[in-house]
């Protein structure tokens, strides 16, 4: 913030800002340059354990107890109740930290449960809170219990209605926030830093198709279809020989066997640190960006947006988007023209798209060039950080003006 000290911020969420998954990635990149002494993170033990290897922000992290999942129904129910009771401690700790550290603004993500505690603490301390809507809070995946889901939906509406500023991860999410809450929000697409130089690595021993990211319900079916194409050699019918699928995520041998991916042409490269990701993406011929076609995933893929999109675009490599027409990703890719798009769950259509990219150097160059253009226009981390701090400056201007007036009045009344 120009001409003033950095704002004192407190982030509250089950997962700390990191490179672990979507929402955590968004926050990490937004706050990447924030001075360590002016930022504090309140998070859960489970989230901290999962996120630590993926890279955390350089700031104070306050880790609160959390309960692991259980396969036993009764224990799961007891743990769920304990989680909700534990929110009271999260709220109390947040209030204490706001007062102790003289926090000027709270940040949180509509995900899990911690955002309820953060919003309550913001209300109790009259501290503005900025909320990022990354997941569909009306989805059945939010909770297995309809009554609990209804209550969470109602409370989320109230929280978003009281937020000082709302970020939505896609235009579809922005419309959902308006429809549910009547609240305006700003679109905040995933972002990243552009690599210092664009790496171009050619392969002489066959085509490499690469996927980087977590394997969850929003991508699993589409990844399985591509893996089947690779395993069964169906791509050879389309003139593509020696194709391999590289998967960059944390998988054990047992995970690979359970997925049915234990095949010589499916290479699991493990989790890739953000510092190494540009060179890994550059080692691929095609970057695979899938979304689920399953009806149970519709709520999520219709409004959410994969964070890996920004990294793919910054890599300047041909991108293959595979997802249903109604998904936010397919709509965006079709509008922006940075990828070959397949919106039919068909092995033949997917194979034909791979062949179209693989067999035309001109088309690959066109896709790569357009990817860089879209990245520069919509996903540049530096641009988003600048806009964020300008927004923060507007939010904090009234409270900082009151502080200056109070300090001026105090100095006038103090004895010389």
pLDDT at residue 194 in the model = 83
- Which whole number is the average pLDDT over 335-351? 97
pLDDT at residue 197 in the model = 61
pLDDT at residue 1 in the model = 55
- Which whole number is the average pLDDT over 338-354? 97
> With 60 as the cut, is the pLDDT of residue 237 above it?
yes
Question: Residue 209, SS3?
Answer: strand
- Which whole number is the average pLDDT over 235-241? 88
> With 70 as the cut, is the pLDDT of residue 405 above it?
yes
Record the pTM: 0.88
**Residue-wise pLDDT tens digits, 352-393:** 999 999 999 999 999 999 999 999 999 999 999 999 999 999
Mean pLDDT of the chain: 89
pLDDT at residue 142 in the model = 52
Q: Compute the distance between CA of residue 132 and CA of residue 185 in angstroms, rounded to an integer.
A: 9
Per DSSP, helices labelled H in 65-170 are: 73-100, 114-125, 146-162
pLDDT at residue 302 in the model = 94
Phi, psi of 288 (to 5 degrees): -95, 125
With a pLDDT cut of 70, the percent of the chain lying above it is 89
- Give percent helix, percent strand, percent coil of the chain, each to the nearest 5: 50, 15, 35
pLDDT at residue 319 in the model = 98
- Which whole number is the average pLDDT over 404-412? 73
Q: Which of 188-197, 271-280, 336-345, 386-395 has the lowest mean pLDDT?
A: 188-197
- pLDDT band at residue 3 using 50, 70 and 90 as cut-offs: low
**Residue-wise pLDDT tens digits, 9-64:** 999 999 999 988 888 999 999 999 999 999 999 999 999 998 887 889 999 999 99
More confident residue, 411 or 250: 250
Q: How far is CA 281 from CA 197, 306, 333, 347, 378, in A?
A: 13, 16, 19, 24, 20
* Residue linked to tokens 């690469």: 210
**Residue-wise pLDDT tens digits, 388-403:** 999 999 999 988 887 7
> With 70 as the cut, is the pLDDT of residue 76 above it?
no
Q: How many CA atoms lie within 13 A of 273 on its CB side?
A: 6
- Which whole number is the average pLDDT over 119-130? 97
pLDDT at residue 139 in the model = 65
pLDDT at residue 275 in the model = 85
More confident residue, 250 or 66: 250
Q: Compute the distance between CA of residue 365 and CA of residue 384 in angstroms, rounded to an integer.
A: 27
Could you tell me which residues come within 8 angstroms of residue 185 by beta carbon, excluding any fewer than 6 positions away?
A: 133, 160, 166, 167, 168, 173, 174, 177, 178
pLDDT at residue 38 in the model = 97
pLDDT at residue 291 in the model = 97
**Residue-wise pLDDT tens digits, 87-98:** 899 999 999 999
**Residue-wise pLDDT tens digits, 130-180:** 999 987 777 655 556 778 778 888 899 999 999 999 999 999 999 999 998
What residues pair up with 41 in beta bridges, in sequence order?
11, 61
- Which whole number is the average pLDDT over 254-272? 93
More confident residue, 404 or 276: 276
> With 90 as the cut, is the pLDDT of residue 331 above it?
yes
pLDDT at residue 53 in the model = 79
Domains of the chain, earliest start first = 9-191+381-412 (3.40.50.2000), 208-378 (3.40.50.2000)
String of b and e for 203-216 (b: at least 16 CB within 10 Å)? eeeebbbbbbbebe
């Amino acid at each position: 913030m120009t001409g003033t000290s950095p704002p004192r911020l407190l982030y509250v969420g089950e997962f700390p800002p990191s490179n672990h998954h979507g929402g955590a990635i968004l926050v990490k990149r937004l706050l990447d340059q924030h001075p360590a002494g002016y930022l504090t993170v309140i998070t859960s033990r489970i989230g901290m354990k999962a996120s630590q290897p993926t890279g955390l922000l350089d700031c104070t992290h306050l880790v609160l107890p959390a309960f692991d999942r259980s396969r036993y129904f009764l224990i799961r129910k007891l743990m769920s109740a304990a989680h909700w009771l534990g929110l009271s401690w999260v709220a109390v700790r947040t209030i204490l930290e706001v007062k102790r550290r003289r926090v000027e603004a709270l940040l949180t993500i509509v995900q899990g449960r911690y955002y309820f505690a953060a919003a309550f603490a913001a209300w109790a301390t009259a501290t503005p809170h900025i909320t990022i809507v990354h997941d569909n809070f009306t989805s059945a995946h939010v909770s297995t219990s309809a009554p609990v889901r209804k209550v969470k939906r109602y409370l989320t509406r109230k929280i978003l209605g009281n937020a000082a500023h709302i970020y939505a991860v896609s235009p579809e999410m922005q419309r959902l926030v308006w429809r549910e809450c009547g609240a305006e929000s700003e679109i905040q697409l995933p972002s990243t830093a552009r690599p210092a130089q664009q790496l171009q690595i050619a392969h002489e021993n066959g085509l490499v198709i690469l996927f980087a990211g977590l394997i969850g319900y929003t991508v699993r079916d589409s990844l399985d279809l591509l893996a089947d194409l690779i395993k069964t050699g169906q791509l050879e019918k389309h003139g593509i020989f020696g194709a391999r699928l590289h998967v960059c995520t944390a998988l054990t041998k047992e995970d690979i066997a359970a997925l049915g991916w234990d095949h010589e042409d499916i290479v699991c490269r493990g989790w890739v640190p953000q510092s190494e990701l540009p060179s890994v993406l550059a080692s691929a011929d095609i970057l695979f960006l899938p979304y689920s076609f399953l009806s149970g995933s519709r709520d999520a893929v219709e409004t959410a947006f994969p964070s890996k999109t920004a990294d793919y675009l910054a890599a300047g490599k041909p991108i293959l988007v595979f997802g249903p027409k109604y998904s936010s990703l397919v709509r965006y890719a079709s509008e922006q023209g940075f990828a070959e798009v397949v919106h039919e769950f068909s092995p033949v259509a997917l194979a034909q798209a791979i062949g179209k990219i693989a067999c035309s150097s001109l088309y690959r160059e066109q896709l790569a060039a357009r990817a860089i253009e879209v990245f520069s226009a919509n996903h540049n981390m530096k641009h988003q950080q600048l806009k964020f701090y300008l927004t923060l400056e507007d939010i904090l201007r009234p409270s900082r003006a009151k502080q200056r007036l109070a300090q001026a009045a105090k100095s006038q009344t103090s004895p010389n």
